[in-house]
Amino acid sequence: DAGAAQFVPEGKDWAALRSAASGCRGCDLYRDATQTVFGEGPVPARLMMVGECPGDREDTDGHVFIGPAGRLLDKALDAAGIDRAKTYLTNAVKHFRFVERGKRQIHQTPRRGEAVACFPWLREEIRVVKPRLVVVLGAVAAKAVLGPSFKLTEHRGEVLEHDGLRVGVTVHPSSVVRAENYRESFDEFVADLVAVRKS
């Protein structure tokens, strides 16, 4: 459980990385989750988006952003004029974190230590995908890429330079799904996507 690094094959292509990630035991999350949900999309790709961790649907089916957050993201990408098919989508943490409530599995935000443990996979995805822009969706992804003291709310809609990467910052689509003022939150999310895409 000492992080993903020991499971990451050196200098390999995307398919080899994905296959190696399926056996990762770099933190405790592999124990209760169904499977590793690796990133997906074209390799290379100009645009990469990084979410938090798989949800219940993603855990069951093994694909990123196919549940409620994914549907919201699809709508927002459409509204922002971004083609999902040309975008590489992944998560900061590759296993579902949840608690059992009766028959339901309730999503839990991954801990900082889990994001740190999982970061070697994201680093490798960035290496092979070679994105011009990495958009971090929400605080977990933002802190994984930009460091633990990063304050998302102060940088929404901005593109920052970090370690030779261009990093666009916005919220997580789940926060829009749950928002009380849905319409406004959705429009702000789309405006962020448009802004980071243009800059």
Is residue 30 at the binding interface for ligand SF4, with CB under 6 A as the rule?
Answer: yes
Strand, coil or helix: 24: coil
Taking a C-beta distance cutoff of 8 angstroms, is the pair 41, 130 a contact? no
**Contacting residue, 20, 29, 77, 141, with ligand SF4 by CB under 6 A:** 29
Is residue 51 at the binding interface for ligand URA, with CB under 6 A as the rule?
Answer: yes
**Contacting residue, 17, 49, 55, 95, with ligand SF4 by CB under 6 A:** 95
Which partner in ligand URA, ligand SF4, none is near 26 (CB below 5 to 8 A by kind)?
ligand SF4
Report, in Å, the least distance between residue 10 CB and ligand URA.
27
Vertex 159: Cα angle to 156 and 164 (nearest 5): 140
Sheet of 133-137: strand order equals: 87-91, 47-51, 133-137, 165-170, 159-162
Taking a C-beta distance cutoff of 8 angstroms, is the pair 177, 138 a contact? no
Is residue 143 at the binding interface for ligand SF4, with CB under 6 A as the rule?
Answer: no
Return the structure tokens found at 194: 């448009």
Q: Which of these ranges, 51-59, 78-86, 142-150, 177-185, lies near ligand URA under the rule CB under 6 A?
A: 51-59
Q: Between 140 and 190, whose beta carbon lies closer to ligand URA?
A: 140
Q: Going by C-beta distance under 8 Å and a sequence separation of 6 or more, which residues neighbour residue 65?
A: 51, 58, 73, 74, 89, 173
Binding site for ligand SF4 (CB under 6 A): 4, 21, 24-27, 29-30, 36, 93-95, 114, 117-118, 121
